[in-house]
Amino acid sequence: MKTLHERRTSSPLGELHVVASDDAIVGVYLPGHKGAPEIVAHDGREHPVLREATRQLDAYFEGRRDSFVLPLDLRGSPFQREVWAALLTIPFGETRSYAELARALGRPQAARAVGAANAKNPISIIVPCHRVIAGDGALTGYAGGVAAKRWLLSHEQRRRSSFLSVP
């Protein structure tokens, strides 16, 4: 087992718990994050990957960043990692339904399995599981809470609109 390091950082959604191995991000958890594991980690205030992750998260929340460039260590089953990789292809400010994501993975009957994998994403915000919604447009479950999902989508749509309206 690799050594884990943690850093807490403030955000408009409350204090985020950011976790890294020696060389990659392994978790970003929102306050009250359902299913967040108990993590025993070292203080990561000086950890270079955590310092860069919090810098990029701050820029995202300030509206100065629409993507992340960080080393990620996605820990899960092969199917979960496949779903999480697909999440990284959803553009900033856009959404996909669980069924659309399942079709994109070549598994059109697996919308529920995609939803279950999406719910287990350990790297919230950076791996944008908040961009996946129900087929009817409803904001269904989010480990950080539906209010946080609504805030993140609204934040991205506002920022995307301002990007698109610049002449």
Q: Which of these, 61, 41, 35, 92, lies nearest to 8 by C-alpha position?
A: 41
Of 14, 75, 6, 70, residue with least CA distance to 38:
6
Structure tokens, 38: 């108990």
Q: Would the CATH topology of 5-62 be identical to that of 78-164?
A: no
CA dist., res. 62 & res. 8, Å (int): 17
Question: pLDDT digits over 27-69, tens only?
Answer: 999 987 776 666 666 676 788 999 999 999 999 999 999 999 9
Q: The pTM is what?
A: 0.89
Number of Cβ atoms within 10 Å of the Cβ of 69: 8
Residue 166: the pLDDT is 45
Sequence spans of domains, the chain: 5-62, 78-164
Q: In terms of pLDDT, which residue wins out, 94 or 136?
A: 94
pLDDT at 83: 96
Tell me, what's the pLDDT at 161?
A: 66
> What does the mean pLDDT of the chain come to?
88
Could you tell me the pLDDT band of residue 126, with boundaries at 50, 70 and 90? very high
Res 145: pLDDT? 84
DSSP for 27-45? EEE-TT-TTPPP---EE-T
Q: Can you tell me the mean pLDDT for 122-132?
A: 95
Enter the tokens of residue 111.
Answer: 């919308």
Tens digits of residue pLDDT in 4-16: 888 999 999 999 9
What's the whole-number mean pLDDT along residues 70-84?
A: 95
Assess whether 20 carries a catalytic annotation.
Answer: no
Are 142 and 149 spatial neighbours (Cβ–Cβ below 8 Å)? yes
User: Is 78-164 CATH 1.10.10.10?
Assistant: yes
**What is the three-class DSSP state of 82?**
helix
Task: State the number of CA atoms in the 13 A half-sphere of 57 facing the CB.
Answer: 29
Q: Is 131 left (phi over 0), alpha (psi -120 to 50) or beta?
A: alpha
| pLDDT of 139 | 83
Q: Is the pLDDT of residue 162 over 70?
A: no
Quick one: pLDDT at residue 34?
Answer: 74
pLDDT per residue as tens digits for the range 88-120: 999 999 999 999 999 999 999 999 999 999 999
Does domain 5-62 fall under CATH 3.20.20? My reply is: no
Find the catalytic residue in 90, 129, 148, 152: 129
